[in-house]
Chains A and B, each alone.
Chain A
């Protein structure tokens, strides 16, 4: 992080964006996606599939790949078209692009992986309304070059997949006593699998715990790096207004201004 983060004089949002752009190396985009701004556990975006498909590690890993594909593909296209799409109709345009990629995933999955299609069911088409995808298209890809957008898509998707896998593993191991459909030793004989974790309430519970763990990790890392560099790191604390938790932030704020 460079030194202009440390002075605390007031800067307008535009200036801040410019500064953020300058300070953003490819490495920091990857770190942001995987850790500091992890879409699921830090920004709390796209949690509907996160809670629903994490019953088993396998289905959550697959969901993660589907999201990476849709996110990277649509960010790339949005970024290529960023000077062509008029600002007023950008949201429908983004949604159309995203829906195209989701349809590709849907067709491929139903042709080659019918079993997964069964278990993921409605949650594949619902990637369209996954807040992560629209939010990244709107806040990142529509302002940056295609190369950066692809990198952002990969790292954000990777972060989302990590979160999915983390939750999927916890819920499958504790709820069914298996991991990737392999039966674990001890479970069944010594430890009884806890049904609660594979039922819907378990999803909410594990997600809450995962957020706490992630917060702890991020605070720890920030403290260590801050001690080293004596700089203030970006203040990306999650605030919990109705807007921040849904990803359609800008749409919402626009209508408020009107």
Chain B
């Protein structure tokens, strides 16, 4: 057991985790999951609910799709069905989680329930499962990457909902009101994430 724990490449995992959260942030530098990013960032509470649901589904989806790709699709030589299989797995997973949650955890369902159907069409979830495969991650790394992606999504959403609450109160020129000013604010938040670019090399490199 001890040798097993020691054999885990902690540093490698940390690099993956932090680069997924800060450097290659899913929302702000990979543009995955923009729809919920713009849609539910209006107030902090819904933003947190959505993020929690996304983190949970990302972890579950990666835990299921990684074995499917490596133990089922690849040995049978039908790796090209990846997209089709993954999206169906995610869609049914979301449906299943929703049903189970409704039955066993009604308060949690009340809080997160409305966000669950939206996650099916959230490209971040499908994106992270596909990236785990294309980057040839081991299972542990794949799970770390998914956790990082989810946390990165939550961080971006959290920061941006704060920015947006300020915009609501600001006096914005008429032409920019609504979505345009939101996008320009997103652009500025995205610029701020550039500060993290050299972080990984300097800490772990």
Residues of chain A touching chain B, judged by Cβ–Cβ distance below 8 Å, are 44, 47-49, 51-52, 91-92, 95-96, 99-100, 102-103, 106-107, 121-122, 125-126, 128-131, 134, 199-205, 207-209, 211-212, 215-216, 238, 240-243, 245-248, 251-252, 254-256
Chain A residue numbers with a CB within 8 Å of B92 are 92
Among the listed A48, A205, A208, which residue makes an inter-chain contact with B33, where contact means beta carbons less than 8 Å apart? A48
Report if B114 contacts A (CB, 8 A): yes
**Residues B123 and A205 in contact, CB atoms below 8 Å apart:** no
- Top 3 closest A-B pairs, CB basis? A208-B183, A204-B187, A242-B39
B111 to chain A, nearest CB (A): 14
**Residues B179 and A100 in contact, CB atoms below 8 Å apart:** no
Q: How large is the interface on B (under 10, 10 to 19, 20 to 34, 35 or more residues)?
A: 35 or more
Q: CA A215 – CA B175 in complex, angstroms?
A: 9
Q: In the complex, which residue of chain B has the Cβ closest to the Cβ of A242?
A: B39
Q: A126-B123, A252-B118, A255-B113 are in contact. Are A47 and B184 (CB under 8 A)?
A: no
Q: CA A130 – CA B176 in complex, angstroms?
A: 26
Q: In the complex, which residue of chain A has the Cβ closest to the Cβ of B131?
A: A122
**Residues A48 and B190 in contact, CB atoms below 8 Å apart:** no
Among the listed B83, B134, B179, which residue makes an inter-chain contact with A238, where contact means beta carbons less than 8 Å apart? B179
**Residues A126 and B121 in contact, CB atoms below 8 Å apart:** no
Q: In the complex, which residue of chain A has the Cβ closest to the Cβ of B124?
A: A48
Chain A residue numbers with a CB within 8 Å of B34 are 47-48, 51
Among the listed B80, B180, B190, which residue makes an inter-chain contact with A106, where contact means beta carbons less than 8 Å apart? B80
**Residues A122 and B130 in contact, CB atoms below 8 Å apart:** yes
**Residues B31 and A51 in contact, CB atoms below 8 Å apart:** yes
Q: A126-B123, A207-B183 are in contact. Are A200 and B31 (CB under 8 A)?
A: yes
A69 to chain B, nearest CB (A): 15
A204 to chain B, nearest CB (A): 4
Q: A204-B187, A242-B40 are in contact. Are A129 and B179 (CB under 8 A)?
A: no
Report if B76 contacts A (CB, 8 A): no
Q: CA A245 – CA B191 in complex, angstroms?
A: 23
**Residues B87 and A129 in contact, CB atoms below 8 Å apart:** yes
Among the listed A103, A134, A200, A254, which residue makes an inter-chain contact with B84, where contact means beta carbons less than 8 Å apart? A103
**Residues A208 and B180 in contact, CB atoms below 8 Å apart:** yes
Among the listed B123, B181, B190, B191, which residue makes an inter-chain contact with A129, where contact means beta carbons less than 8 Å apart? B123
Q: CA A121 – CA B92 in complex, angstroms?
A: 25
| Cβ proximity bits B122-148 to A, threshold 8 Å, 1 near / 0 not | 110011001100100000000000000
Q: From residue 91 to 126 of chain B, which have CB atoms closer than 8 A to chain A?
A: 91-92, 98, 113-114, 116-118, 120-123, 126
